[in-house]
Structures are given as C-alpha cells and as structure tokens.
Structure 1
Amino acid sequence: MQIIALLKTFIYLIASSLFLPVLLILSCLFVWMLVYSGTFFRTWLERRRIKTLPDKLPEKIISGSYRNHLPLCVVRVVKILETLNGSDDQVLIVNLLRDTEHRMWKSLDMLKMMIRIGPGLGLIGTLIPMGTGLASLGQGDLSRLSQDLVVAFTTTVVGMALGLLAYFYFTVQRRWVEQDIKNMELAAELLAGRDQP
C-alpha cells in the first residue's frame, strides 16, 4: 500500500509541477499568435492589392510586366528565373523551385504545431487545477474550488482560441502557398520555353 501512496504522491508532484510551465507556455504562445496575426493581415493586405488576371498571367510573365499581378515572394523567384537561361540551367531551375517550395511549406510548420499544441496545453491547464479544486471541495473550501475552476476554464478557452486561430491561418496560407507554387512553376515553364529556339 505504501508503494501505491508513493506513486500517487509522485504523479501528483509531476502534475503540479507542470502547471506553471503550461501557463507560461500558453501565455507566450498567445503573444506569439498576436504578433503572427499582424504578419498574417499584412500579407493578406499585400495579396489584396494584387490584380488577378489568371487568363492573362502567361502574357504578363513573358513580357516582364508581372510585378503587379504576383505576390512579392513569387516575383523574387521569377526574377531569378529570368537570369537562368538555356538547357544547362534546368537543374538549377528545378533546384530553385524545390528549395522555394520547401521553404514555403516549412513556414507553415509552426501553425500546424499550434493547431495541436494550443488545445492540448489548454486541456492540461484545465485538468491540473480541477484536481486540486475537487480536493478542496472534499475539505469544504468552496472559495478555493471557485478559484481553481476559473483558472481551469480560462486555460481551456485560451488553448482552444489558439488552436482555432492557428487552423484558420493555416488553411488560408496553405491555399496561398499552393497558388504561389503553381505560379512559380508556370513562370519556370514559360521562361524556359521562351529561351528555346
């Protein structure tokens, strides 16, 4: 019986020691999400200014007047593609496209993690004070129970809000990345075809 009591105490100490780091990490992630929201809306405004002409985009790329019709990240790649000419540069073109595509997808990794981490931390931050709150209920301390319940439910709200925002931003940006990759591949094919006799 002493071993079971020792294990219970050990697990309780582990759970209690996790509570402060969970609150700290949730607070830091919330601040990060606020900063990221500003970055997201800046990118959204930049993309709103782009004049979309999907049917005339190949002509714009070939003529070199694509700057107002493509996002800045794609414009940079197209400028590099314009400097690479001939069949000797095919490997360089493919490598440039793959590296850029990899960087674009990698930029979404933090959002993908936040979709899972936010709600997970919120759940951990809920269950730890619920345990101490229920213990205080058994002792008749209702004020301690109410304090623990407030902390428990607010961590749930913060964790779920982080997950929902991250999912929204990830979904929108995934569509942007797919569109940008398509436009870069189109530019590479058009510019490579233009240089061949």
Structure 2
Amino acid sequence: MFAHKLLEPERLASRIAPMLGLVGTMIPMGPALKSLSDGNLAQVSGSLTVAFSAVILALIAASITYWVSVVSQRSSEESELI
C-alpha cells in the first residue's frame, strides 16, 4: 500500500498529460478554422503548429511519466522480495 501511494503522482501525471494535450490541441483549432474561413493560410499554419506541438509534448510527458512509474513499481516490488 505504501508503494502504491508513492507511485500515485506518476500514475496520475501519465493519465492527465494526454488529456491536457487534447485540450492544447483543441484550443488553437478554433482560431485555425476561423482563419481558414477568412483565407488567412499563414494564421492557419501557425495555429496548427501550436496544436500539433501541444499534443506531441503531452504524449512525450505521458510516456516519460509512465516509464518512471513502471520503473519505480518494479524497483519497489524487487525491494519487497528482499
């Protein structure tokens, strides 16, 4: 139970990061679609760059925190066996 509590922040971060990436993707999509309807392709490109960057960063963060939680869980399981 103690090990589970220690791993909770990493587990939580690995689940929340993709959600934040989705939010970070959706927010710039509104201005991108508006710019598209106005014919301003430069603004569309800028907004899409921000949107895709947000999702990539969120997935990287989720991957790193998931990896940390798995490694920590394995090391805590190994220490319990000793």
TM over 0.5: yes
- Which SS does the other structure have where 1:143 is aligned? helix
TM-score (norm 1): 0.40
Q: Percent identity?
A: 34
The amino acid across from 1:118 in the alignment is A
Which one has a larger percent helix, Structure 1 or Structure 2?
2
Residue 121, structure 1, aligned to residue 20, structure 2: yes
RMSD: 1.1
| Greater gyration radius | 1
Q: Which runs of 5+ in 2 are unaligned?
A: none
- Which SS does the other structure have where 1:124 is aligned? helix
What displacement does 1:105 show?
2.2
The amino acid across from 1:177 in the alignment is S
- Which SS does the other structure have where 1:115 is aligned? helix
TM-score (norm 2): 0.91
What displacement does 1:181 show?
1.8
- Flag the structure with more relative contact order, 1 or 2, with Cα contacts below 8 A and sequence separation at least 6: 2
Q: Which residue of 1 aligns with 2:48?
A: 149
Q: Which runs of 5+ in 1 are unaligned?
A: 1-100, 184-197
Aligned ranges 1:78-97 → 2 under 5 Å: none
Q: Which residue of 2 aligns with 1:5?
A: none
Number of residue-to-residue matches in the alignment? 82
Residues in 2 aligned to 1:139 and 1:148: alpha-carbon distance in whole angstroms: 14
Q: 1:105, 1:177 within 8 Å by CA — same for their partners in 2?
A: no
Deviation above 6 Å: which 4+ runs of structure 1?
Answer: none
